[in-house]
Structure 1
Amino acid sequence: MNYAVQTGIISLDTMLNDIEAMERKELLEQHPYAITVTTEKSGKEIFSTYLPSPDGNRLFRRRNTREELEEVIVSFYKALQEEIYIENVFYEWIDRKLEFCEIQKASYDRYINDYKRFFKSGTYSISKKKFKNITEDDLEIFIKSVIRDLSLTRKAYAGLRTLIRGIFKYAKKRKYTSISITEFFGDLELPNNLFKRRIIDKQKEVFMENEIPLVIDYLKSKPDIYNLGILLTFQTGLRVGELSTLKPQDLFRRIIKIRRTEDKYRDENNKWIVTVKEHAKPDAGNRDLIISTTAQETLDKILALNPTGEYLFEHGGKRIRGNTFNKRLSLICKELNIPHRTMHKIRKTYGTTLIDSDVDEGFITEQMGHSDISTTKKLYYFSNKTSKNKEKQIENAISF
């Protein structure tokens, strides 16, 4: 391009005019209101349209020619771009995603909380800089500062990365920036020592092999609706949101059809709302779960306790929420004098048990509702053998 300009093949003025004409065309195409032509009694044509207003109303504009009115429109949007900040783009982006059901309300709330956490604090902020003036260097410094100031792990950083990718992809489409965020992240280097390393106590991630019989015996000895729900989770590996939204019509002998889950989000008054979503959390979560004969026996007991309910797990005619099961499990752990664990740790115990039992990997992913076995192995597998058992295994392996 430089060669073409320098040698006179392309005129610089022509190129700049072409770029300006292209930007003008794109701005006019983004204008949401039609240009209306009316004819006055004198026979004169008048061109009119509306411009969007921050207060939700519309601004009426009219001119004698289409060219004059288009100039008003282009000037309006150019001036608007001058006053756009990252917060404006963020809310414009997530509001549109929610409007078109690309995200659920729970994800919408999580994005807002993450935005406040990442963009409203720290020693280096880009939220007060006009969006068009944000450079790739600004972004890199901002990202590294947030990782350092908030002591982010790589997993926590993924939330920040999701927001930045979404905001800047949307902004580029809207012509608020020229930064290609895909290329930016492709070139960005973040060494491992930049992140906080989280030391996982593996014994708290799953129930240990000597603890499982204690909990199972306790649940079977006190078979109320809550304990049977926890027992069923040990036998099926269900997510707690899937467990709490099961219905009798989901049961087909040795198969449970998983087709819904619990959804939790905050309303406009910042009050928590808990609803039932008519599909599982990830796409792979919609599955036909094969169950054991013991799980089938547990289901029979649950149906006997609640024979006419809309949901399998109800108390006083109301659906039992997922968090209620977590509270009950916490009390059980305390009573048995074992470390506190959540219902999700039972799910990890189930995944670990399947892997240790040499169940086919493809079948494990189906049972867990994962799309790939690597997810199960990386996030859901923790050896739950006792120290004595591990010592025995080492003795058997190292005999020289």
Structure 2
Amino acid sequence: MEYLNSGISEEETLQVALQSGIIDINEISMRIEDMKRKEILSNHPYSIWYSETDNLWKTYLPDIENKNGRIFRKRKNKKDLEDLIVKYYISHQQEIYLKDVFTEWSESKLKYGEIQKQSYDRYCTDFQRFFSSAHPICRKKFKNITYPDLTDFIKSSIHEKHLTRKSYAGLRLLVRGIFKYGKSKGYTQLSMSEFFGDLELPNNIFEKKLTNKRKEVFSEEEIPILTSYLKHNIDIWNMGLLLQLQTGMRIGELSALKPEDIQSHYIRVCRTEVKYRDDNGKWKVEIKAFAKTDAGNRDVYFPDSVKWTLAQIQKLNPHGEYLFMNNGKRIRENTFNKRLSSICDILKIDHRSTHKIRKTYGTTLLDNNVDDSIVSEQMGHSDIATTRKLYYFCNKSEKTKIAQINNAINF
């Protein structure tokens, strides 16, 4: 307190404390090193675990040369493994590149449950698509990347890869996520809110993609042809497609239904099929115990006609754990798509995926003046704007269009 009152600077006070032995410089250094060590270990994106099988401590370390972006490491005791981890990050501190930060960021989001494995796989696929190792921004040390570098990278990517506004959204998500994470870790000083706030991307820079609206939904002439075929060719796959036409569920939700989800006037949607790559890069398919989105967990009300469909499904699969099974195995969503493709061939109509059935359902509800709030709930959308923007397409026949226009314009 005397030093503070005497007008001596903090630097002079510290010097006097060191000289008088009040503060031990070695102890301070050790505490700082210990803090650094704890910070490095707490930010390590991979779990550290003990295997009783071989009595070893194990983890992964980032490795940009490995196809999975990481490499397996093990040691006899935990301290040796932690020493290895700390040594790795200290040695790479000055050699961090964009791919290193991407790996840390994506692994961290997966570790803390911010994203699911299928989203993590999509991030990795998009990263490989957009961030070529030959691009200057990927060869430059992360701390040296500038705003002009990012602007050039984004504009050249849009131009060279012929990105639409929709496909650009995937690139934007990665850039924002990587650099926000990098800033939080002290790897860069760039602000993404400032960068994207100033970034100007005129409409003509994006690729224009003409959508064949006829192929987005089944037309009002095709719907009765398709439903008639399904009803007169009863099997478990056709009944699944018919149920989707009648309820608009996502095909992954349909594939994950269980008998107990069926109620007297509605179907409880609380599960979905997911597909992701495991640690060895092999595709895995499993059921996730909640729908694709928060709004996706819902009760889908159905018309009386669905009771006939459900009765046929019950006859075909009376004792199955899942509603749709064949030879004791759950029917996966991809087989429903294959079946629909075959039916389109038989009926000689344009090929469409099961997602187009879902769009057809949304379009039908809106055309029949169902309340917006009901439509969004049935579709599992948090906002009706999503349904109207992405799921509504006119599917009226030429005859209907002409008749309605004639009725409207009669002067």
TM-score after normalising by structure 1: 0.82
Tell me the alpha carbon deviations over residues 295-331 of structure 1, each in whole angstroms, 9 at most, x when there is no partner: 1221121012111000000000000000100000001
Q: Report the alpha carbon displacement of residue 181 of structure 1 after superposing the two structures with TM.
A: 1.0
Tell me the alpha carbon deviations over residues 345-395 of structure 1, each in whole angstroms, 9 at most, x when there is no partner: 000000000000000000100000000000000000000001121112222
Alpha-carbon distance in structure 1 between the residues aligned to 2:136 and 2:248: 43
Secondary structure of 2:284's match? strand
Q: 2:130 aligns with which of 118, 128, 135?
A: 118
| 1:169 counterpart = 2:180 | yes
Alpha-carbon distance in structure 1 between the residues aligned to 2:108 and 2:122: 16
1:370 counterpart residue number: 381
Number of residue pairs matched by the alignment: 350
Q: Report the alpha carbon displacement of residue 32 of structure 1 after superposing the two structures with TM.
A: 3.0
CA contact (8 A) 1:313 1:320 kept: yes
Distance 1:291 1:175, change over 3 A: same
1:153 counterpart residue number: 164
Alpha-carbon distance in structure 2 between the residues aligned to 1:286 and 1:395: 43
CA contact (8 A) 1:119 1:125 kept: no
Distance 1:59 1:298, change over 3 A: closer
2:39 counterpart residue number: 30
CA contact (8 A) 1:239 1:344 kept: yes
Q: 2:299 aligns with which of 284, 288, 294?
A: 288
* Paired residues for 1:84-95 under 5 Å: 84-95=96-107
CA contact (8 A) 2:133 2:139 kept: no
Secondary structure of 2:410's match? coil
Alpha-carbon distance in structure 2 between the residues aligned to 1:368 and 1:297: 22
Q: 2:341 aligns with which of 315, 330, 333?
A: 330
Equivalent position amino acid for 1:276 in 2: I
| 1:106 counterpart = 2:152 | no
CA contact (8 A) 1:27 1:77 kept: no
Secondary structure of 1:82's match? coil
Secondary structure of 1:292's match? coil
Q: CA RMSD in A?
A: 2.5
1:192 counterpart residue number: 203
1:304 counterpart residue number: 315
Equivalent position amino acid for 1:292 in 2: P
CA contact (8 A) 2:180 2:192 kept: yes
Equivalent position amino acid for 1:369 in 2: G
Equivalent position amino acid for 1:174 in 2: K
* Paired residues for 1:1-400 under 5 Å: 30-32=39-41, 56=73, 58=80, 80-120=92-132, 124-400=135-411
Bigger drift between 390-399 and 194-203 goes to 390-399
CA contact (8 A) 2:253 2:273 kept: yes
Equivalent position amino acid for 2:126 in 1: D
Alpha-carbon distance in structure 2 between the residues aligned to 1:306 and 1:99: 39
Q: Report the alpha carbon displacement of residue 80 of structure 1 after superposing the two structures with TM.
A: 3.4
Distance 1:332 1:83, change over 3 A: same
Alpha-carbon distance in structure 2 between the residues aligned to 1:265 and 1:80: 30
CA contact (8 A) 2:272 2:288 kept: yes
2:3 counterpart residue number: none
Alpha-carbon distance in structure 1 between the residues aligned to 2:326 and 2:40: 54
Distance 1:101 1:167, change over 3 A: same
Q: Report the alpha carbon displacement of residue 293 of structure 1 after superposing the two structures with TM.
A: 0.6
Equivalent position amino acid for 2:121 in 1: D
Q: Report the alpha carbon displacement of residue 214 of structure 1 after superposing the two structures with TM.
A: 0.3
Equivalent position amino acid for 2:41 in 1: P
Q: Report the alpha carbon displacement of residue 79 of structure 1 after superposing the two structures with TM.
A: 6.0
Structure 1: gaps of 5 or more residues: 1-10, 15-23, 34-51, 62-72
Alpha-carbon distance in structure 2 between the residues aligned to 1:60 and 1:255: 53
Q: Report the alpha carbon displacement of residue 268 of structure 1 after superposing the two structures with TM.
A: 3.0
Q: Report the alpha carbon displacement of residue 397 of structure 1 after superposing the two structures with TM.
A: 1.5
Equivalent position amino acid for 1:119 in 2: F
Equivalent position amino acid for 1:83 in 2: E
Bigger drift between 290-299 and 348-357 goes to 290-299
Alpha-carbon distance in structure 2 between the residues aligned to 1:313 and 1:80: 51
Alpha-carbon distance in structure 1 between the residues aligned to 2:336 and 2:398: 30
CA contact (8 A) 1:81 1:132 kept: no
Equivalent position amino acid for 1:308 in 2: H
Secondary structure of 1:103's match? coil
Distance 1:109 1:392, change over 3 A: same
Alpha-carbon distance in structure 2 between the residues aligned to 1:318 and 1:309: 9
Q: Report the alpha carbon displacement of residue 30 of structure 1 after superposing the two structures with TM.
A: 2.4
Alpha-carbon distance in structure 2 between the residues aligned to 1:273 and 1:59: 30
